[in-house]
Structures are given as structure tokens and as C-alpha cells.
Amino acid sequence: MKNKLQGIIDRYNQLTEMLTQQEVITNKDQFKNISKEHNSLIEIHQLAQEYFKKDKELQENKELLKSDDEELVDIVKEEISILKKDINELENQIKILLLPKDENDDKNIIIEIRGGTGGEEAALFASDLYRMYIRFSENNNWKSEIMNINGSETGGIKEAIISIQGKGVYGEMKFESGVHRVQRIPVTESGGRVHTSAATVAVLPEAEDVDVIINDEDIKIDTYRASGAGGQHVNKTESAIRITHLPSKIVVTCQDEKSQYKNKEKAMKVLRSRIFEVKQKEQQSKIADQRKTMVSTGDRSAKIRTYNFPQGRVTDHRINLTLYKLEEVLNGNLNELHESLKLEERKQQLLSV
């Protein structure tokens, strides 16, 4: 570990020096890349320095144990015990920071929410999830943009596709992929019976042009008139876009903008992200001994969470965590859930190292 930490300190110092060089400052791309790497090393650099400082103090105290002064030896023994505890805690923190990071964690995301089983009640629940994620984005000072939204007759959402941009968005939001289940009395239920409905959430890392190259001959583009809930036309021009990726059969629609060009631009962004997700899953499936944990599969067929309204509780089934904070969670306070999920993911990673 000492060699690895010394290498990190040396690299951090090298990057710090590079950021002061005029040729780097004037090269925007190079400066951006170096700054990104430099920032990623700040926390572990500080811990590494603290680790070496404590280790040096420990070695110095061990030398003092050779003293003939019994009173001094007793004091030193107590100091050594404290230093060993501090070093052990630092090692645990460093091990977590040294774990391999998901290269997509810093990417922006495309999040897709769809009402599942439960008809109109599922659509209403999907709209609750939509608001929850928008509020969570606002709490984190992220930028959100509606890519496409398809409403239901009762004000719910059949499908919503949102782009969210900000620091570490995918790393924070990837735990939301899966089936979300709700248990409550629907507004349409006259008998007061609790029903169970569901909505699916897919969190996709937003693909850059360099991540996915789409050839013009591989896509089919159709235009049509955008319509709202119940089939009412919201404009009289064919501004809505449907793009079919012929090799993968992936279909993306977008009608949120009045401009056909803007709808196409948004649809292509969603298409790239969906193709990127498929490519990633194919790569991962080829690695037989790949670490697989429940908290990071992102499998949309897996039931991950239940929102129980009568009892005011939220249960995450992947880590068996129940919080009696339903209202807080639906108002965008996902921090406690996400921190617990991150902790479990790190534990699983440490076990596989």
C-alpha cells in the first residue's frame, strides 16, 4: 500500500505542477483533463499524507520503547495504541477510495420512467416518481430537461424521458434502475382497498458522440403530428420525430419541442444512450468472473423498492432497508437510501478484492 500511496502523492504533485504551465493553461482540452484527474486525487492525496505522517510517528514511538524510563514507556505505549487505531481507520478509508470506479459515474444521464402494471394508478405513480427525481435534481443543483413526456387521461404519466446534467449524476442515480412498486388506495377506488401498482425506471449514462457512432444508413426517421393525452393534437405541423435504429430495432420518439430539428436532436441523444447501454451489457456479459451485486445491476426487471402509503414506509429490497419517511423520499430526499446502497456496493467490492 505504501508504494501505491507514494505513487499517488507523486502523481498529484506532478499534476499540480502541470496546471501552472502556460502551454497547459492555454490548451482547454488538456487543462480540463488534467484538472479532472487532479480533482479526483485530492481526497486520497490528503489521506495518504496523513497516513505517512501517522506511520512516521508510530515508528518514532516504537524507538522510544527502548528507553529505560518506565514512565515514558507507559506514555509511549498508550500513544502507540492510539496511532495504530488511527492508521487502521485511515487504511479502511484509503481501501475504499482505491476501489475501481465505474467509468460512467461522472456522466450525465437519461432517465426513463414508465407506468407498469396497474393502469391509471401506475401512471399516477410514475408521475410521483417523475416529481421525486426532479426535486432530487434541484436539491443537488443539477440541470434537468424533459426529452419526451406522454401523459395519461387522469394527469399521470405513461412515459417520461428526462436528461439530467451535473457532477457525478450517474454515480448517484444508477441505483434507481428497476421496478418501483407502490401500495396505496387509488383515487379511483371507491371501496377503500389498497392496490399494488408498479412503474419501471431506467437510468442510462448519457453517451457522447465518441462513445456511440450512428451511421445515417442505420436509422429510419419518421415524422408525425405531436399529440397530447387523449389524442388531442398540440400542433398542426409534423414536428414529432420517431427514429428507428435498424440494426438493434431500438425505437425512440420525441414530441416535446415544437421544432422538428430540436426533437430530432433530443431523440438522437436518447438513442445513443440506449445503444450505449446495450453495448455495455454485451461487454459485461463476456466477463465470466465479473463482480455482480444486487445494488448495481440496473436490471429493470428486478423489483427494487416498495412505497407503502398506509404505513408511510419505503423499503429497498436489495439491502433490506426500511425507512418510515415516505413523504420525505417522495419529496426528493433520497440521500439516506443512496448512501446505504453505496455502502453496500463498497462492501461487496472489498469482499471481491
Predicted confidence band of residue 172 (pLDDT cuts 50, 70, 90): very high
Look at residue 231 and tell me whether its pLDDT is greater than 60.
no
The conformational region for residue 145 under phi > 0 = left, psi -120 to 50 = alpha, else beta, is: beta
* pTM summary value: 0.66
Q: Looking up cell 435504429, which residue turns up?
A: 245
Predicted confidence band of residue 170 (pLDDT cuts 50, 70, 90): very high
Q: Using a CB cutoff of 8 Å and minimum separation of 24, what contacts does 49-53 make?
A: 49/9, 50/90, 51/5, 51/87, 51/90, 51/91, 51/94, 52/2, 52/5, 52/9
* Interatomic CA distance for residues 59 and 56, integer angstroms: 5
CB 211 within 8 Å of CB 272: yes
Look at residue 323 and tell me whether its pLDDT is greater than 80.
yes
Helix axes 28-64, 70-98, angle to 10 degrees: 150
Which tens digits make up the pLDDT trace of 147-168? Answer: 888 888 888 999 999 999 998 8
Which tens digits make up the pLDDT trace of 244-296? Answer: 998 888 898 888 777 888 888 888 888 888 888 887 777 666 443 433 444 54
Please give the pLDDT value at position 93. Answer: 85
Q: What percent of the chain has pLDDT over 90?
A: 48
CB 337 within 8 Å of CB 352: no
User: What residue ranges define each of the domains in the chain, with the CATH number in brackets?
Assistant: 2-98 (no CATH), 109-206+295-352 (3.30.70.1660), 216-285 (3.30.160.20)
User: What's the gap between Cα 30 and its chain centre?
Assistant: 26
| Residue 79, CA distances (Å) to 63, 234, 256 in order | 13, 74, 65
Which tens digits make up the pLDDT trace of 65-114? Answer: 988 888 898 999 999 999 999 999 998 888 888 877 777 888 899 999 99
* Interatomic CA distance for residues 332 and 176, integer angstroms: 13
Mean pLDDT over residues 126-132, rounded? 96
Q: Looking up cell 448519457, which residue turns up?
A: 206
Please give the pLDDT value at position 233. Answer: 43
Please give the pLDDT value at position 230. Answer: 42
Per DSSP, 199 falls in state: E
Per DSSP, 233 falls in state: B
Residue 107 sits at φ, ψ, to 5 deg, of -75, 155
Please give the pLDDT value at position 10. Answer: 94
* Interatomic CA distance for residues 275 and 72, integer angstroms: 67
Q: Look at residue 316 and give its three-state secondary structure.
A: strand
Least reliable range by pLDDT among 53-62, 181-190, 314-323: 181-190
Please give the pLDDT value at position 293. Answer: 46
Mean of pLDDT over the chain: 85
